[in-house]
Amino acid sequence: MRQVVQHLGSGLTELIEVPAPGPRRGRLLVRATRSLVSLGTERMLVEFGRGGWLSKARQQPEKCRAVLAKVRSEGLFPTLAAVRSKLAQPIPLGYCHVGQVLDAGTVPGFAAGDRVVSNSPHAEVVSGDPAFAARIPAGVSDAHATFTPLAAIALQGIRLIGAQPGDTVVVMGLGLIGQLAVRVLRARGVNVVGIDPDSVKCLDAAQAGALISPPALGSAAGVLITASTASDEPVNLAARLCRRRGRVVLVGVTGLRLNRADFYQNEASFQVSRSYGSADLSDPSSARANFEEVLALMASGALDVAPLLSASHSFADASAIYADLRRPGSYGQLIEYSVPDQALARTIPGADWDSRTPGGLGVIGCGNFASRVLVPALRSLGAAPSAFASANGLSAQLLAGAHGTATTETASLFDHPGVAAVFVATRHDEHGEIARAALRAGRHVWVEKPLALTEEDLGATMAVARSSSSVLAVGFNRRFAPLAVRLRAALAAQSGARRFTIDVNAGRLPSGHWALDPRQGGGRIVGEACHFVDLLRYLSGSAIASARALSRDSDDQDGGSFELAFANGDLATLNYRTDLPAHLPKERIRVEGQGWSAEIDNWNSLRSVNLPGASAFPAWLGGLARGKGHAEALGAFLTAVRSGGSAPVPLDETEEVSRWSIRMQGMAPA
């Protein structure tokens, strides 16, 4: 199938061939009929991509500050590499998609054959999230239904204002979302005053029922800002327009230096709207509830979007739409699809897919870690994977390039005789099931941590691994880092118990990130801190005897401090912090004994006091290579696969670390 993508580095917008997604439980498989280009959001992405480095920094100052903090924490060259990698990764465009359901994935309320609108991208076939989808009533055309997500964005902001029939609301910015906001407000019986410097847009809003005359200060129940500008004036003017305790709601993008006096005068409040609503179906203003209300207004005739439909284009010409997204008087640019059955193909074979040459490598899960760390490390070892599988197809195709195989059928990698080993880098909840299937198929398996989220799942995987002749390894790479190997060798010569302390500056994840979801990610202790449980197990060289939580954070970021005791008498404190400034080192490992100590600082240096053989010269002076051990760990796995040897880490030790990590995830302080 084909999909529209945007290259953030070069600014190129193109239509590319990717494998079609397949049926998945909990997802809607949809064949496209129409989609709508968002002239606001999509134009912003396109113009960002076409700008130079300085332009990109000016457009996203918050991310620029994050980059500077990363430079302070990790150094200039690793940061530049990370930024270039991010910009080199094309992103899908679009979020106003209409089509027919091919498979409903057992989602309640949907069935094959339904017409649905969703927030899916411009693509011939999509796997839609049902939380951001709704069935289209019979009286609404596919073309008109494409406006639903954009109108839902306006509706979510309107809900936050809470205006009642007869109230007056000012809509500031009369682009496409502003025009939809005017129409939704009028359909709800609310008086509307429109503000925009473009007289044509003002005229279009007036024809939809808005007043264009300048509003009186202190007269509006609320102001909905749908404009896009760097100026602070819109938000402060909005406060002056509000009546006492009126509400200013930002849907667009403006400067945010609020003038206290403007808000103080009428006790106006300010709030930023959350796009088209939340994924929580129990929320009265969820995305689906907003979608359904918009569609109901369309079906009743109260919301007429026909005047906003500016032009239609065939999907084959979709990339040409982006050549000029600032056409005067343009609102809705519609894309029309005619999807042939061959577009449903789930595998795009590479040059050697039909060969039976043994020893090939496959990657399952092609997200950020796979594209930025795993695959580059394998290629640097001369072990480039030849087959890539992902759920949505696009990420697999981007990694496969012109010569590799891309697929959305994971099982095809197990069935292909040319694939000897697979690397699993999917979301955490899928690791165990995929690992077991691959082992049963006789494939060697590298699984990114964690191996499992529950002890039951872990037990099932270990049973299969012990009955298999294939190698199973987990991506606990830090024990393979050259500095860790050197430190363990120095520790082995010391007698007596040691005290370890590991401080991790993990940073905050966005609210709702999948890693924080107990079902998908399992939590940050089992999903991320497990790295350091394994590192401590390696450095101590002794089995973990017990673990307890010293503290657990209450900010929904799943951090905490833990104490681990080892059978040889070693003690360790693991501080997994999510509240530290980004410029501080990410990882620091300290160990001390009777009269000696050593410290690894962010995997850049190893210094010691009275510990012979520990300190390491810088790499540029001929010392050990730096880094977290990714290439070394993968190299050890590949050596075991090629030689027929045992796993780099004994299965019993892998199970031990995994089991304690699972238990620590559920621990609370005594």
Tell me the C-alpha distance between 279 and 456, whole Å: 29
For 133, phi and psi rounded to 5 degrees?
A: -145, 155
Residue 108 has a pLDDT of: 97
Task: State what percent of residues in the chain have pLDDT above 70.
Answer: 90
- pLDDT beyond 80 at 193: yes
- pLDDT beyond 80 at 44: no
H-state helical runs in 453-595: 455-466, 482-492, 524, 530-540
Return the amino acid letter for 213.
S
* 3-23 average pLDDT score: 90
Q: Between residues 581 and 39, which one has the greater pLDDT?
A: 581
* 186-215 average pLDDT score: 95
- pLDDT beyond 60 at 552: yes
Q: Is 590 helix (H, G, I), strand (E, B) or coil?
A: strand
pLDDT interval class at 65 (50, 70, 90): low
* 187-213 average pLDDT score: 95
Residue 206 has a pLDDT of: 97
CB atoms within 10 A of CB 57: 15
Q: Is 200 helix (H, G, I), strand (E, B) or coil?
A: helix
- pLDDT beyond 80 at 83: no
Return the amino acid letter for 298.
M
Residue 85 has a pLDDT of: 64
Give the length of the chain. 670
- pLDDT beyond 90 at 73: no
The pairing of strands 220-225 and 168-172 is parallel
End-to-end alpha-carbon separation of the chain, Å? 55
CB atoms within 10 A of CB 112: 12
CB atoms within 10 A of CB 337: 23
* 177-190 average pLDDT score: 97
Q: Angle formed by the axes of helices 76-88 and 61-74, to 10°?
A: 140
Cα-to-chain-centroid distance, residue 637: 28
Please state, rounded to an integer, the average pLDDT across all residues of the chain.
Answer: 91
- pLDDT beyond 90 at 314: yes
Q: What does the block give as tokens for 331?
A: 């609102």
Residue 323 has a pLDDT of: 76
Tell me the C-alpha distance between 189 and 595, whole Å: 79
Tally of helices (H runs) and strands (E runs) in the chain: 23, 29
Q: Between residues 101 and 69, which one has the greater pLDDT?
A: 101
Tell me the C-alpha distance between 474 and 634, whole Å: 10
Q: Is 108 exposed, middle or buried (0-12, 13-18, 19+ CB in 10 A)?
A: exposed
* Span of 130-134, 358-362, 545-549, 595-599 with lowest mean pLDDT: 358-362
Give every CB contact of residue 400 below 8 A, 6+ residues apart in sequence.
348, 350, 387, 388, 406
Residue 353 has a pLDDT of: 74
- Closest-CA residue to 447 (of 426, 469, 418, 462): 426
Residue 650 has a pLDDT of: 97
* 322-343 average pLDDT score: 83
Residue 95 has a pLDDT of: 93
**Residue with structure tokens 């060969």?**
355
pTM, full prediction: 0.87
Q: What does the block give as tokens for 494?
A: 């010391």
- pLDDT beyond 80 at 79: no
Q: What does the block give as tokens for 253?
A: 């993008």
Q: Is 145 exposed, middle or buried (0-12, 13-18, 19+ CB in 10 A)?
A: buried
Residue 53 has a pLDDT of: 54
| All domains in the chain, ordered by first residue | 2-147+305-336 (3.90.180.10), 163-272 (3.40.50.720), 357-474 (3.40.50.720), 495-636+649-665 (3.30.360.10)
- Closest-CA residue to 95 (of 50, 45, 48): 45
- pLDDT beyond 70 at 564: yes
